[in-house]
Structure 1
Amino acid sequence: MKTYLPVIGVLGAGFALLAAALPLAGSHPLLAAVVFVFGTLVGLLGEAVVRQRAAVARALEGFGAGLTVRTGLRGLLLGGLAVAAFGDDHGTVVLVAVTLALVWLSRLALQVLVTDAVAHRLSPVSWRNLEVPGVVRNPPLAPALLGEGQRWISAATLAMVVGVVVPLADGPRAAIAIASAVAGVVCVLFVVLALVDALRARNDTPHEKTVDLLADALRDLSPEALFYYSRPEAIGYIANVWMPTLELVDRRVVVLVREPWNEPLVSTDTLPVVMVSRPGDIERVVPPSVRIALYPSNVATNNHLLRLPGIVDVFVGHGDSDKGGSATVLTRIFDEAWVSGPAARDRYRIADVGVRDEQVREIGRPQLAEIHRVAAPLAEDHHGDDGQGEWDYTVLYAPTREGFFAEWEYSSILSQGRVLLETLLAVPGVRVLFKPHPGTGTDDPAFGDEVDSLKDLVAAAGHPHEVVTGSEGLYSAFNRADLLVSDISSVITDFLASGKPYVVTHFGTTSAEQFRLEFPSAAGAYVLMGDGSDIAGFVQDARESDSLSEERTRTRAYLLGDQSEDPVARFDRAFDEAVSTWGRPVVSP
């Protein structure tokens, strides 16, 4: 409540000044004009703050003092000022009253019409990369202009303030008529524009009919597989891990997204992307041709598709790592869990979470095809020159995000990040690339704040050091690096495909040997303990002797499995094998 009081105080002061001007209008008109203008400016300041603080706006609405009420009250006070100043001029008072009523009613009408248009356009389904015949969707009419409609209506009110105070300051009364005309034109223009847009929206295909037409289009497409994506937060990388691979498989795949905020974050120009927000519409739109569904995330809304019969449900995750969340009891509800190699199979067995061995299928990591393989890192020429600077060796620091639970905390951002980067930046000839996890700070803002600070640190070091932006994929950064520094996560598993050396952070109390036993993905890594200052020695060993080369090769085979077969072909074959193993008769909808 204390955070609301200053804003409420500013708004209250504005109203008090407006009211104070009324008794002055008859005896001291110029002073009344000054006080009323000052009160209007104070009110505008308060409204600007309210727009920036959604919680305050909600609180005012709850107290019955929303924007419409506040605007109406200001209109009444302005009308009162006109009565006090021009009470002997009945025509002027009526003109002001009618105009203010028009402004207030226009604000209400605009809000109702815009809300109606949005409601008719807010379909429970949407799609792209797919033709859905018969659906009529009229694009919004001048959305940018209508989006500013309430501000224009507010400007009409300000015009009336100017029109009323000008005569109080010995100006012509004609200013009132001019202001009324301007306010009237603005109000009528926006109400008519909103009305036309609302009528266009009402001509769109009704929601239920749209769902049926989408279902018909998907039935005609006859997809074999669904990629089911649902997340409570707006984030796309979990789905995008799989998009390039799914675009390559020789079968029809549809991406089914559950939240409208996540649909635009799924990056594919070829796969049909369908958004279905209502649980009851899932069974309406999923065609009987679907035999298998892939799930990259363990979320409660998976149940909306899992309950449908006739579909083989497969958990594919969005990375292979030794994190605690990589082998959970939630995986039991799926028919299969597709994993990279023997390490993941052992992970489920050791965790003893109820996932049977026959539920686990090793498919490799088909996404890793774009990672460049290096057979002999010591024989590589690591020197680089981009015309702006030179370097002899490149180190990529790609830490993971904060954990969801304390026991799943693997991020080195707070414990080692700063010392680690400062040490690397001080090593002569070493170029540093910094690419933090895109979700860092989602659950703990302290991690996000520290990432921003570390970005500033790398940026201040100047060229050739670089903060790798979201526009560059992780695997592209892998290909530019000679050594990786990361935390326990799927990042190190994927980097193993490159054959290059890597460092895994460890800020716990156990020894490096015990850490490698606990986390098999670190078996072939340099283990960075303490505050991270030992990183320079690991860089030197990797450049000069690569003492962990043989162990790294064994670790790669254990985590990624057999890499002799084409990874995409192996992934594609897994579809048929899973359906053959677990497939059930299709139940007609």
Structure 2
Amino acid sequence: MKTYLPVIGVLGAGFALLALALPLAGDHPALSAVVFVLGTLVGLLGEGMVRQQPRVGRALESFGAGLTVRTGVRGLLLGGLAVAAFGADHGTVVLVAFTLAAVWLARLALQVLLADARAHRLSPVTWRNFEVPGVVRRAPIAPVLLGEGQRWISAATLSLVAGVVVPLAGGPDAAVPVAAVVAAGICALFVTLALVDALRARRDTTHEETVELLADALRSLAPEALFYYSRPEAIGYIANVWMPTLEQIDRKVVVLVREAWNEPLVATDTLPVVMVSRAGDIERVVPPSVRIALYPSNVATNNHLLRLPGIVDVFVGHGDSDKGGSATVLTRIFDEAWVSGPAARDRYRVADVGVRDEQVREIGRPQLADIERVAAPLTEDHHGEDAQSQWDYTVLYAPTREGFFAEWEYSSILSQGRVVLETLLAMDGVRVLFKPHPGTGTDDPAFGDEVEALKELVAAAGSPHEVVTGSEGLYHAFNRADLLVSDISSVITDFLASGKPYVVTQFGTSSPEQFRLEFPSAAGAYILVGDGSEVAAHVRDAREVDSLSEDRARTTAYLLGEQQGDPVERFDRAFDEAVARWGRRPAASA
């Protein structure tokens, strides 16, 4: 409520000033003009505050005080001012009234026409990186102007305000008709543009025809695999973990996205990407050539594809970790679960969530092909000729995001993050890279706020320390680092492929030994307890002794399994092996 009060106060003050100007118009016309202009400016300030705080706008709408109502009240007060100022001049009053009515109707017409155009353009399917012949999609005309159309209509009202107050302040009476013409012209222009745009949108290919044409194009494309991506929130990293690998394999793969807000977040310029928002359209567009579907996320909308016969459904996840969400009961609905190595198989067995051992296939982590492998810690400067020799050891702090549930809370952001970074930044010869999880703050804003504060801390420390931006992939950051500090997550599993030492933050009160038993991915790690200040001792050990090198090697074999050969080729072979195992199933009908 405290957030709403300033906005409501400013809006209320604006309306009060507008109302105050009316009784002043008879005896103090100049003062009335000043007060009305001041009320108008205060009202504009209030509307600007509403736009900056959408929650306030929604609250006002729920109480029947939305923008339409507020605009209407201001129009009535302007009409009242015209009556008070020009009561004896019937023609001027009528002109003001008719112009206000025209502006109001123009605002309504603009809203209706723009909504109609959006409805005809908002297709339930979209696509990129391939062609769908026969579909006509006309670009909106004057999208920048129409996008600001409501503000221009408001400007028409402001011109009429000027036309009324100028004579009150002693100016020429001709200001009223001039303002009326300007207001009418603005309204006519934008309504005409919106009408033409709506008519153009109505000539586009209908939604149902578009779905059929997309289905024809996909049948011609004849993909053998689908990558099915759906998330209730707008995030792309879960899908993008797999894009480079899918781009490398020699088979036709289509990325099927379910939400319009996630489609542009899928980062691929080569794979066909299709967005299908309506569940009923899935069976219409998925061609019979598809024999296998990959699912990186356990969400309810997976069922819209799972129900189609003839497809081998495989859960691939987006990372291999000891988090609670890595072995859930939801996975048992898939034909197979592809995992990295023996640890993931054991994880399902221990969790006892109904996933049968024969469902689990160890196929490695094809993404890890981009991680450079070393046999021992690097104590010399290996970051290139331009690196400063005094910064000869690089530590990457890559904490995970907050948990979806309290028992899945593994992030060190709030518990240890600041001390970890302050300690590392104070160490001689240590370069710090900070790369937080891109989804941090999605479920708990406190984590997102703290990440921003930690970014400022690293930025203030200056070069060579840096915040790793989203444009740099996690694996590239791995290759720049000599040691990783992270939480229980797939980050530490993937980092094992580098052969370098790593530190895992501990939550809870269990001993480090018990923690390693509970979370096998930490078996080869230095365990960081307390407030995080012990990270310095772990860095020194890793840098000078590397006392956990043998434990780390055993952990790597357990988590990642067999690492011989090309991991992408191994992943590619898994497609044919899965289809062969389930080949007895009938294909989906065309």
Superposition TM-score, scaled by structure 1 size: 0.97
> C-alpha deviations, 1:467-517, integer Å up to 9, x for none?
111110000000000111111111111011111111111132222222111
Distance 2:126 2:159 in 1: 42
Please state whether the residue corresponding to 2:337 is helix, strand or coil. strand
Contact 2:379 2:543 (8 Å CA) reproduced = no
Q: Deviations over 1:389-433 (max 9, x none)?
A: 841111111111111112211111112111111111111111011
Deviations 1:205-230 (A, max 9, x none): 11111111111111111110000000
Alignment correspondent of 2:303: 303
2:589 counterpart of 1:588: yes
Aligned to 1:377, the other structure's residue is in SS state coil
Q: Deviation of residue 164 (structure 1)?
A: 0.8
Instruction: Give, in whole Å, the separation in 2 of the partners of 1:182 and 1:465.
Output: 58
Contact 1:382/1:394 (<8 A) preserved: no
Note the C-alpha offset of 1:20: 2.8
State the 1:324 CA deviation: 1.1
**Residue 278 in 1 paired to residue 282 in 2?**
no
Deviations 1:126-177 (A, max 9, x none): 0101100000001111211111111111111111111111111111011112
Seen in structure 2, the aligned counterparts of structure 1 residues 388 and 74 have a Cα distance that, compared at 3 Å, is farther
Q: CA deviation at 1:550?
A: 1.7
In structure 2, the partner of 1:532 is 532
Q: Give the gaps of 5 or more residues in structure 2.
A: none
Query: In structure 1, what is the Cα distance between the partners aligned to 2:69 and 2:528?
Result: 61
Tell me, yes or no, if the aligned pair for 2:379 and 2:544 is still in contact at 8 Å.
Answer: no
CA contact (8 A) 1:117 1:201 kept: yes
The structural deviation recorded for 1:4 is 4.2
Any conservation in 1 of the 2:396–2:477 contact (CA below 8 Å)?
yes
Matching of residue 31 in structure 1 with residue 49 in structure 2 = no
Q: Tell me if the contact between 2:383 and 2:480 (Cα under 8 Å) persists in the aligned partners.
A: no
SS of aligned partner of 2:565: coil
The worse-fitting range, judged by mean Cα deviation, of 348-357 and 311-320 is 348-357
Contact 1:10 1:46 in 2 (8 A): yes
Pairwise mapping of residues 135-154 of structure 1 onto structure 2 (< 5 A)? 135-154=135-154
Amino acid at match of 2:490: S
**Alignment correspondent of 1:126:** 126
Cα distance, 1:63 vs. partner?
3.5
> Equivalences for 1:513-524 in 2 at 5 Å?
513-524=513-524
- Of 32-41 and 570-579, more deviation after overlay is shown by 32-41
Q: Cα–Cα, structure 1 residues 491 and 19, in superposed 2: closer, same or farther, change >3 Å? A: same
Equivalents in 2 of 1:73, 1:413: separation in Å? 49
Aligned residues: 589
**Residue in structure 1 matched with residue 433 of structure 2 by the alignment:** 433
Matched-pair contact (CA < 8 Å) for 2:380–2:392: no
- For residues 2 and 546 of structure 2, what CA distance do their matches in structure 1 show? 60
Quickly say closer, same or farther: Cα 1:376–1:49, change in 2 above 3 A.
closer
d(CA) in 2 for partners of 1:402 and 1:3?
26
Contact 1:378 1:546 in 2 (8 A): no
Letter in 1 for 2:267: S
Q: Where do 1:537-548 residues align within 5 Å?
A: 537-548=537-548
Where 2:556 maps in the other structure, the secondary structure is helix
1:405-420 alignment runs, 5 A limit: 405-420=405-420
Query: Is the alpha carbon distance of 1:7 and 1:538 closer, same or farther for their aligned partners in structure 2, counting shifts above 3 Å?
Result: closer
The residue number in structure 2 matching 1:12 is 12
- Do the aligned partners of 1:385 and 1:391 also contact (CA within 8 Å) in 2? no
Offset of residue 46 of structure 1: 2.2
Segment drifting more, 155-164 vs 96-105 = 96-105
Query: After alignment, is 399-408 or 7-16 more displaced?
Result: 7-16
Distance 1:66-1:423 versus aligned 2 partners, 3 A rule: closer
User: Aligned residues: percent identity?
Assistant: 84
TM-score, structure 2 normalization: 0.97
Match of 1:346 in 2: 346
Cα distance in 1 for partners of 2:294, 2:117 equals 36
1:382 Cα deviation from its structure 2 partner: 4.1
1:522-554: CA deviation from partner (whole Å, max 9, x where unpaired): 111111112211111221121222121122111
Alignment of structure 1 residues 536-575 onto 2, 5 Å: 536-575=536-575
| CA distance in structure 2 between the partners assigned to 1:3 and 1:377 by the alignment | 52
Matched, 1:258 2:255: no
Partners in 2 of 1:571 and 1:226 — Cα distance? Answer: 15
AA aligned opposite 2:51? R
Deviation sequence 1:316-351 (CA, Å, 0-9, x none): 000001111111111100000000011111111111
Which amino acid counterpart does residue 589 of structure 2 have in structure 1?
S
The aligned residue for residue 402 of structure 1 is 402
AA in 1 matched with 2:508: G
Q: Distance in 1 between matches of 2:52 and 2:73?
A: 22
Whole-Å separation in 1 of the counterparts to 2:295 and 2:167: 70
What letter is aligned with 2:138? N
The one-character-per-residue Cα deviations of 1:17-52 (angstroms, maximum 9, x if unpaired) are 323322332322112212222222222222222222
Could you tell me which residue of structure 2 aligns to residue 330 of structure 1? 330
- Tell me what 1:373 maps to: 373
Residue matched to 1:472: 472
Q: Deviations over 1:213-267 (max 9, x none)?
A: 1111111111100000000000000000000000011110000000000000000
**1:384 offset after TM fit, Å?**
5.7
Residue pair 2:378, 2:393 contacting (<8 A) in 1 also: no
Q: Residue 61 of structure 1 aligns with which residue?
A: 61
Aligned AA for 1:300? Answer: A
Distance 1:347 1:281, change over 3 A: same
The change in CA–CA distance for 1:531 and 1:431 in structure 2 (over 3 A counts) is: same
- Which residue identity does 1:199 align to in structure 2? L
- Counterpart Cα distance in 1 of 2:380 and 2:575: 38
Preserved contact between residue 343 and residue 558 of structure 2 (Cα < 8 Å): yes
Residue matched to 1:213: 213
The worse-fitting range, judged by mean Cα deviation, of 260-269 and 397-406 is 397-406
Greater alpha carbon shift after TM alignment, 309-318 vs 87-96: 87-96
User: Does structure 2 retain, via aligned residues, the 8 Å contact 1:7–1:50?
Assistant: yes
